Structure 1
Amino acid sequence: MVEAQRLSFIRANQKLIRCDILNGLQEAVNRGETDPSLIGRRIVLLASFTGGTRYMFNNCQDVMAICKKFGYPDLFITITCNVNWSEIRDFVLPKGLSPSDRPNIVCRVFKMKLDEMMTDLKKNDFFGKTINGIKLNNRSVVPYNPRLLMRYQAHVNKKYCNKTNSIKYLFKYVNKGPDRATLKISNNSAQCDKETIIDEIKRYYDCRYLSPCEVAWRIFAFDIHHR
């Protein structure tokens, strides 16, 4: 409902967000259109709306610019929440609940663990000093780090990163949902005389999946991406 209210406000205030500058030829070119009559009217979903297409695209462009300036990242690390963390179980079990009953607690504990990990990696010299001249073998490519696993008691995957493929992964999804598809059958000849309306908000809504943890994360206004 929080997200629906925000999208409703954006839809009702298209003039206030200066969407007219996004309804021009550049947008038509981006879609691959060659007929000016097909430009139609566009309902714009702002780049400031978290999770929208423009939001993801702008963040991806920023990351590519950072990589161009400073080079590719060194490590690509993913961490998955463990619902058996003592902080979660100590809260829900005395109340006769399960972690799935309190996604808000799961999200807050995961955020604490994530902040702690970032502190370890950025300030506490977690991996120690870099030593030159180490001979690498097949063991070096296994995404396994016992120190991280023991410290955070969760699934932690660590890989060496040296190309853009893994960076694009960041903007494919953040919270995973099920595979989904939508199909629409229409008579184009009957609609050829009607004005084409490109509704970015409807595109965002179509087959939209929200998990309870993502809902809680967004309501708490926790950051989705950092730079």
Structure 2
Amino acid sequence: MRRRYMDAMALVRRYGKPDIFLTMTCNPNWDEIRQELYPGQTPQDRPDLVVRVFRAKLEELKNKLLKKDILGKVRAYVYVVEFQKRGLPHAHFLLIMEGRYKLTCPEQYDRLISAELPNKKKYPELYKLVVKHMMHGPCGALNLNPECPCTKGRPSCKNHYPRPFHAATLQDNRWVVPYNPHLLRYFNCHINVEACGSIKAVKYLFKYIYKGHDRASIVVSEADKNGDIDEIKQYRDARWVTPPKALWRIYGFELSKNSPPVKQLQLHLPNMHMVSFQAAQNIERVVNHEGVEKSMLTEYFEANRLHEDARSILYRDFPEWYTWQKSQNNKYWRKRVRDTGGQIGRIVSAHPAEGERYYLRVLLNHVTGATSYEDLRTVNGEILPTFREAAERRGLIEGDNTLDESLTESTLYEMPSSLRWLFATILVFCEPSDVRGLWEKHLDAMSEDYRRSNPSKVAAEQLVLIDIRNMLQSMG
């Protein structure tokens, strides 16, 4: 999941923030499900039928969005399939639109998204669908339903309903969840369509990276031969796998996908690349095998040496213009037949505590045309002994500015726990001059997971401080 999240962020880096967030939830009362039930059965009795119909609907939604351009031309997308506690599947889509189809003003929002009850006399069918599928609550904000999950234990609805009425498009109207009228009528299910305001929606898609899998506490009543019950063994903390989720995996349906595809680019110091082999293979033969010394990075250097037009392309952008070819005896980058757009690249992450590997990554993200490691370390005709010195000489790392940039970049790619570890590492190894400035600027990102489950900002901040203190102690 972490790799998929970073792939999604690579698309954001390349094409900009998502424009549309769309969620489709399975409707167990779809005709395609009801018509296939045996007498006396309910949809809950047929998880196989539920997931197969939902998957068919999902494929039709993808056809509407990506081929028929119902919301406009899509440049890049990512989606994930999740399962509610009661078992029903739902899919979250993030769409990055092509330039002319990007949503930039309220007038454009209104062409695709509605957040109001339609005229009951003029559009009776659409009115019924909105009331049935697209109403939130009523929840407990006005003591209408204090037991509603979105309000339970909170002074108001966590989703900010009911929202104030507005004659013009500013935000959603009262209890209505934003929707697209055409998609709602076509699919007859809860299908939420919203305009994205930031890249935080990407983290929402992959929230299970730090939230963890769905879990449940269950009670197992079991007595020994004397009739005694061990109350400690009664309780089990277990992962929650519902029948539809199990069937989805058994059928081998996709849980997530992004397009264009993202290529992970290897990052390693000289002669320290990974070589895969089977346990039964002779190590000496593996080491002496033809082409074993080649990697994506070494062949990037070779491509720069052989092809003049490659020398203006950064390593991270190389997959857009060249394809990685790998056979049993050879590895190399081959120029694409089409100019661009086939694949996006991203260099695997490196931590400042890794030293030279981290500074190698800094250089690769800024320097084009290098034909060797020595070439990367060469500045103004002088071969410097380390990648760090080369990065300093090029002005790529300068005190706290570099540390701030490192934390800012990591905020896009990493989860809060990783950011806290990075902050602790910076305190130990990098000697920042303005610790408070770094702390205040990146606190929100470092506390995001704690704030999800703790409404108190002060309490979340204290939990972050405790985490960092423990990390510092483990480093000492």
The structural deviation recorded for 1:115 is 0.5
Matches within 5 A, 1:2-151: 56-92=1-37, 94-127=38-71, 130=101, 135=107, 138-139=168-169, 141-142=171-172, 143-151=178-186
* One-letter amino acid of the structure 2 residue matched with residue 124 of structure 1: K
Tell me if the contact between 1:177 and 1:210 (Cα under 8 Å) persists in the aligned partners. no
Specify whether residues 68 and 206 from structure 1 end up closer, same or farther in structure 2 by C-alpha distance, changes over 3 A only.
farther
Worse-superposed segment, 119-128 or 68-77: 119-128
Root mean square deviation, CA, Å: 3.1
CA distance in 1, matches of 2:104, 2:2: 38
2:197 is equivalent to residue 162 of structure 1: yes
> What SS does structure 1 have at the residue aligned with 2:18?
coil
CA distance in 2, matches of 1:162, 1:86: 36
Looking at both structures, which has the greater relative contact order when contacts are Cα pairs under 8 Å and sequence separation is at least 6? 1
- TM normalised by structure 2 equals 0.28
* One-letter amino acid of the structure 1 residue matched with residue 4 of structure 2: N
* One-letter amino acid of the structure 2 residue matched with residue 162 of structure 1: G
Specify whether residues 178 and 60 from structure 1 end up closer, same or farther in structure 2 by C-alpha distance, changes over 3 A only.
closer
CA distance in 2, matches of 1:60, 1:133: 28
Greater strand share, structure number: 2
Tell me if the contact between 1:141 and 1:159 (Cα under 8 Å) persists in the aligned partners. no
2:206 is equivalent to residue 171 of structure 1: yes
> What SS does structure 1 have at the residue aligned with 2:257?
coil
Tell me if the contact between 2:19 and 2:196 (Cα under 8 Å) persists in the aligned partners. yes
The structural deviation recorded for 1:157 is 0.6
Specify whether residues 138 and 180 from structure 1 end up closer, same or farther in structure 2 by C-alpha distance, changes over 3 A only.
farther
2:253 is equivalent to residue 222 of structure 1: yes
Output one character per residue of 1:132-159: Cα deviation in whole Å (capped at 9) or x when no partner: 9864674364322211111100001111
> What SS does structure 2 have at the residue aligned with 1:163?
coil
CA distance in 1, matches of 2:10, 2:59: 25
* One-letter amino acid of the structure 2 residue matched with residue 75 of structure 1: I
Tell me if the contact between 1:144 and 1:158 (Cα under 8 Å) persists in the aligned partners. yes
Specify whether residues 151 and 90 from structure 1 end up closer, same or farther in structure 2 by C-alpha distance, changes over 3 A only.
same
> What SS does structure 2 have at the residue aligned with 1:73?
coil
* One-letter amino acid of the structure 2 residue matched with residue 121 of structure 1: L
The structural deviation recorded for 1:74 is 1.4
The structural deviation recorded for 1:166 is 1.1
- TM normalised by structure 1 equals 0.57
Q: Return 5+ residue gaps in structure 2 as ranges.
A: 74-100, 110-166, 173-177, 218-235, 259-476
CA distance in 1, matches of 2:168, 2:200: 22
> What SS does structure 1 have at the residue aligned with 2:36?
helix
CA distance in 1, matches of 2:248, 2:104: 41
CA distance in 1, matches of 2:13, 2:22: 21
For these two proteins, the number of residue pairs brought into alignment is 148
Tell me if the contact between 2:215 and 2:237 (Cα under 8 Å) persists in the aligned partners. no
2:164 is equivalent to residue 152 of structure 1: no
> What SS does structure 1 have at the residue aligned with 2:253?
coil
Q: What does residue 207 of structure 1 align with?
A: 238
Greater helix share, structure number: 1
Identical aligned residues as a percent:
38
CA distance in 1, matches of 2:18, 2:104: 19
